[in-house]
Structure 1
Amino acid sequence: MVDQSLPTIDYRSVHAPQAIAHSLQDSGFAILSHSPIDHPLIERTYRDWLAFFLSEDKVQYRFDPKVQAGYFPLQTETAKGYTTPDLKEFFHIYEGHSLPQGMSQATWDLFNQLRHLATELLEWIEAQAPPHIHANFTEPLDAMIADSKETLFRLLHYPPLPDTIPPGAVRAAAHEDINLITLLPAATGMGLELLDSEGQWQSVTCDRGDIVVNVGDMLQLASQGFYRSTTHRVVNPDGPARHQSRLSMPLFLHPRPEVVLAEGKTARQYLQERLQEIGLV
Structure 2
Amino acid sequence: MKLVAVDYQAENAAQQFVESLRETGFGVLKNHPIKQALVSSIYSNWQKFFDSEAKHDFLFDKDKQDGYFPPDISEVAKGFKIKDIKEYFHYYPWGRCPAELKQEISTYYDEAMSLAAELLGWVESYSPENISKHYSQSLSSMIDGSDLTLLRVLHYPPLQGDEEAGAIRAAAHEDINLLTILPAANEPGLQVKGKDGNWLDVPCDFGNLIVNIGDMLQEASGHYFPSTTHQVINPEGQDQTKSRISLPLFLHPKPEVKLSERYTADSYLKERLKELGVL
TM-score over 0.5 for the pair:
yes
CA contact (8 A) 1:21 1:128 kept: yes
Partner of 1:140: 138
1:46-125 matches, cutoff 5 A: 46-76=43-73, 77-125=75-123
Alpha-carbon distance, 1:97 to partner: 1.3
Poorly superposed stretches of 4+, deviation over 4 Å:
none
- Is the CA contact 1:5–1:203 (under 8 Å) kept in the aligned structure 2? no
Q: In structure 1, which of residues 177, 192, 197 is the aligned counterpart of residue 190 of structure 2? A: 192
C-alpha separation in 2, matches of 1:270 and 1:5: 31
**Paired residue for 1:207?**
205
From 22, 25, 42, the equivalent of 2:22 is 25
1:259 corresponding residue in structure 2: 257
Structure 2 residue runs without a partner (length 5+) = none
Residue 44 of structure 1 deviates from its aligned partner by 1.1
Name the SS of the counterpart of 2:259 in structure 1: strand
Rounded to whole Å, the distance in 2 between the matches of 1:139 and 1:149 is: 18
For 1:258 and 1:65, how far apart are their aligned partners in 2? 21
User: What is the CA distance between 1:104 and its match in structure 2?
Assistant: 4.7
The letter for the 2-side match of 1:175 is H
Contact 1:184 1:213 in 2 (8 A): yes
**Cα pair 1:75 1:86 within 8 Å, conserved:** no
Report the secondary structure of 1:259's partner residue.
coil
Contact 2:181 2:248 in 1 (8 A): yes
2: CA distance between counterparts of 1:81 and 1:102?
38
Question: Displacement, 1:101?
Answer: 3.2
Residue 36 of structure 1 pairs with residue 36 of structure 2: no
Q: Which residue of 1 aligns with 2:12?
A: 15
Residue 124 of structure 1: how far off its partner (Å) = 0.4
1:67–1:104 CA distance, 2 compared to 1 (3 A): closer
- Letter paired with 2:198: Q
| 1:5 and 1:204 in contact (8 A); partners too | no
Instruction: Give distance in 2, aligned partners of 1:153 and 1:75.
Output: 20
Matches within 5 A, 1:155-194: 155-194=153-192
1-structure distance, mates of 2:140, 2:263:
19
CA RMSD of aligned residues (A): 0.9
1:222-277 CA-to-partner distances (Å, cap 9, x unmatched) read: 00111110000000010111000000010000000000000131000000000011
- What is the CA deviation profile of residues 12-65 of structure 1, one whole-angstrom value per residue up to 9, with x for unaligned ones? 011111011100000000100000001111111111110100001111100000
User: Percent of aligned pairs with the same residue?
Assistant: 45
SS at match of 1:71: strand
TM-score relative to the length of structure 1: 0.97
Paired AA for residue 172 in structure 1: A
TM-score using structure 2 length:
0.98
Deviations 1:188-235 (A, max 9, x none): 101101110000011112311110000000000000111110000000
Q: Whole-Å Cα distance in 1 between the matches of residues 45 and 106 of structure 2?
A: 12
Structure 1 Cα separation of the partners of residues 96 and 109 of structure 2: 13
Contact 2:185–2:204 (8 Å) recurs in 1: no
Q: Which amino acid aligns with 1:150?
A: L
Aligned letter for 1:20?
F
Aligned partners of 2:30 and 2:209 also within 8 Å: yes
Equivalent-residue separation in structure 1 for 2:102 and 2:221 (angstroms): 38
Are 2:189 and 2:233, in contact at CA under 8 Å, matched by a contact in 1?
yes
